[in-house]
Amino acid sequence: MKKARFVRVDVFADRPFGGNPLAVFPEADDLTSKEMQALAMEMNLSETTFVVPPTPGSGADFRVRIFVPDMEIQYAGHPTIGTFYVLAKEGRIKLKDPVTKVKMEVLAGVMPVEIHSTGGKITKVVTVQNKPEFGQVFDDPSMFVKALSLEAKDLDPSRMPVQLVSTGLPWAIVPVRTRKAVEKAAGNATAFVEVFKHIPKESGIYVTCLEPLERTSTTHSRGFSLVAGNVAEDPATGSASGCMGAYLVNRKLVKTDRVVRMTNEQGYEMGRASKIEIEVRTDGKKTIEEVRVGGTTVHMMDGVAYV
C-alpha cells in the first residue's frame, strides 16, 4: 500500500474550527487520478488538493489538482489559499517579506498566488483570480427562488438580477434584499437539479446581501452546490467571493474606485465564521482588470493515508 501524507487546515479563519476545512496532500506525485478521487471522497470535505510537479513549459511553480468528493474541478479559492499556506509553512516556498509571488497551475490555467509575510511569518495568502466573465442573466429568477426555499419578494431582479459570473470557476450570484433572506435560505434538492440543467455542473449558487452581521464586513453570504445529488453548503468560498465582488462592482452596487476592497462574511449559519478579503481593481471606468481574494489559515492537524 502507498502512504500519502496530508495536512488539515482551516482556511479564512483566525482560530481553530472556523473557516473552511481543507485537506492538502503536499507530495502527491505517486498518486493516480483515481486514488486522488478516492481520497477526496474519503476526506468528505468540500475540496481536497494534491500538489504535483507543474507541466513542462507552463511557467508554474506548482501544479495543484483540486477535487470535490465526486469530481476534479478547474479552480477554487480556499483550496488555493490553504495549499500555498502549507507549502510556505513547510519551506517549499522561500519567503521574501512582505510579499512572495508564485505561480500555480490548475485546470483553469496558470494563476498567480501571493504569500504575505512579516519576519518570515505568514500573515495571509492571496489568490489572484482570472478576469471576470459575466455570463447569463436570469431575468426570471423563480427556479433559484425555489432552489433556495425563498420567496419572490426576497429578490430584487430589476436592480440585482441573478447572473452567472466566473473568475476561474462559475457561480450563479443570487443577491437578496436582506440578511434575513440569506439566513433563511435552505437548499431544495429537487429544485437544485432543475437549476443545474441551466448552469455548469461544476457551478454553485451563491446567495448574498449588503446587510452584514459585523460592522467591518461588506456582505453576508452563503454558498450551495450539488454534490452526488445532495445539496451541500460551503462555510467559506473564495471562488464565489471573487465572482460576487466582481458582480457588485460591475453593477455599481458598492462604491466604485480604481481599487475596491470588501470583506465578505460567510459560514455563520454553520457555526464556522469566516472572513474573506476581496479586492477588485479597475481601470477607473468600467473595466475590471483584476480580482484578488485572500485570507488567513489555521494549521489543524497532520496525518497519513494509505491507498
Coil/strand/helix, residue 85: helix
Report CA-CA distances (Å) from 147 to 152, 230, 241.
12, 12, 20
Residue 240 to residue 107: CA distance in whole angstroms = 17
304: β partners = 5
169 CB-near residues (< 8 Å, 6+ apart): 73, 74, 75, 76, 108, 202, 203, 239, 240, 243
99 CB-near residues (< 8 Å, 6+ apart): 114, 115, 116, 117
Instruction: Choose the catalytic residue: 27, 35, 47, 72.
Output: 47
Whole-number pLDDT of residue 186? 96
Which helix (H) or strand (E) segment is 166 a member of?
Answer: strand 162-166
pLDDT per residue of the chain (307 residues) written in tens, 0 to 9: 899 999 999 999 999 999 999 999 999 999 999 999 999 999 999 999 999 999 999 999 999 999 999 899 999 999 999 999 999 999 999 999 999 999 999 999 999 999 999 999 999 999 999 999 999 999 999 999 999 999 999 999 999 999 999 999 999 999 999 999 999 999 999 999 999 999 998 899 999 999 999 999 999 999 999 877 788 999 999 999 999 999 999 999 999 899 999 999 999 999 999 999 999 999 987 899 999 999 999 999 999 999 9
Domains annotated on the chain, with CATH: 3-129+296-306 (3.10.310.10), 133-293 (3.10.310.10)
For 187, the grid coordinates are 437548499
Whole-number pLDDT of residue 34? 98
Whole-number pLDDT of residue 233? 95
For 260, the grid coordinates are 475596491
Whole-number pLDDT of residue 77? 94
Active site residue 90: no
Residue 23 to residue 306: CA distance in whole angstroms = 15
Whole-number pLDDT of residue 229? 76
User: Alpha carbon 231 to chain centroid distance?
Assistant: 17
Cis peptide before 98 (omega within 30 of 0): yes
Whole-number pLDDT of residue 71? 92
